[in-house]
Amino acid sequence: MAPRTTTSGRAAARRDRASSGHRRPPAGVRRPSLLLGAAAAGAVLVNVLVGAEPAAHAEAGASEQLSVAEQLGLTSQTSTATDAPDLAPLEELAASRSSREAAQTAAQASQAAADQAVLDQQRAAAEAEAARVAAQAAAAAQAAAAAEAAEAAEAAEASAAQAAPTAAERAEKPAATSGAALATAVAKITNSSGSVKPVVQAAANAVVSNVPGAAGITLGGTRPSATDPGGHPSGLALDYMVMTNSALGDAITQYHIDHWDELGVEYIIWEQRMLSSPGGSWKAMEDRGGTTANHYDHVHVNYQG
């Protein structure tokens, strides 16, 4: 056994180094250089032996790797990073969602259109109802105005009758005895409450026979709604409805003035004025609010009974 491998030998060596003052380099320092040299020589040898057949060694390595993979139950095919993922399910999901959203949007639009149609129908019905109510109100107002005008006309006739001289105050004279008042035609009188008195019918016959245009107008006779008991209800009054033909109204009025006693006239109302005698003056009457009430469309004549 070498002295350095024993305890006593190592102690003796330390003593020798301490006594001599010269220290040897340790064995660990010298070994690396030896190992480097051996490694370089081995590398040269490996290059010589392996360099001639690199392909064989590569194939052997690949075989060994394949054998190990088969033993581990792995396939030799490996997926590459360049393989594209299957996006078909995602695309189908997106298309299905888009279809559902489109269907929901269409349903909402259809519901909104239906709601708007209902609102339009309700609004049209409300407008029609409002128009109907307005028309009824207008008709009622018109009827009320017509009734009021008729009442006003009757009141005016009653007032004129009160202001006219009575039969006792006047000398009785026969009606239609003059040749100028002779009748050649029979007047058609519209009555709603019995017939007029004979004197009224005779006067009307004379007017339509001697006044041009008078035969073609309406003659209003009796009616029960008049407030003047001595006028239309009693059959002693006539309305010569000239409407807008004021010239014809003037002619009928003048004919009655010219034949006042012959026709048995008591008083005349024409264009909001009243005449109670053939030689008297016209008296203005109060405004009664309408064409008919103010006697602008007809000549009213009361005859003596």
pLDDT of residue 168: 45
Query: How many other CB atoms are there within 10 angstroms of residue 168's CB atom?
Result: 6
pLDDT at position 297 = 97
Range of the domain at 187: 158-303
| Strand pairing class (283-284; 273-275) | antiparallel
Quick check: 216 and 231 in contact, CB under 8 A? no
Instruction: Please check whether residue 230 lies inside any domain of the structure.
Output: yes
Q: Is there a domain that residue 67 lies in?
A: no
Report if residue 268 sits inside a domain.
Answer: yes
Q: Within the chain, which residues score under 70 in pLDDT? A: 1-13, 15-34, 43-84, 158-181, 226
SS3 annotation, 195-263? CCCHHHHHHHHHHHHHCCCHHHCEEECCCCCCCCCCCCCCCCEEEEECCCCHHHHHHHHHHHHHCHHHH
Q: What pLDDT, on a 0 to 100 scale, did the predictor assign at position 242?
A: 97
Quick one: tokens of 194? 């019995």
The domain tally of the chain equals: 1
Rounded CA gap, 303 and 61, in Å? 151
Q: What is the pLDDT at residue 1?
A: 52
Whether residue 295 lies inside any domain: the answer is yes
pLDDT of residue 100: 87
CA distance 252 to 275: 14
Q: Determine, yes or no, domain membership for 274.
A: yes
Helix axes 246-258, 198-210, angle to 10 degrees: 120
Per-residue pLDDT at 25: 54
Q: 290, 152 in Cβ contact below 8 A?
A: yes
Note whether residue 22 is domain-resident: no
Establish if 211 belongs to a structural domain: yes
Assess if residue 20 is contained within a domain: no
- DSSP-assigned states of every residue in the chain: --GGGSHHHHHHHHHHHHHH---PPPHHHHHHHHHHHHHHHHHHHHHHHHTT-HHHHHHHHHHHHHHHHHHTT--S----TTPPP--HHHHHHHHHHHHHHHHHHHHHHHHHHHHHHHHHHHHHHHHHHHHHHHHHHHHHHHHHHHHHHHHHHHHHHHHHHHHSPPTTTS----TT-SGGG--SS---EE-SSSPPPHHHHHHHHHHHHHSTTGGGSEEE---TT-S-TTSTTTT-EEEEE-TT-HHHHHHHHHHHHHTHHHHTEEEEE-SSEEE-STTS--EE----SSTTTTTSS-EEEEE--
pLDDT at residue number 230: 85
Model-wide pTM > 0.85: no
The predicted pLDDT at position 167 comes to 46
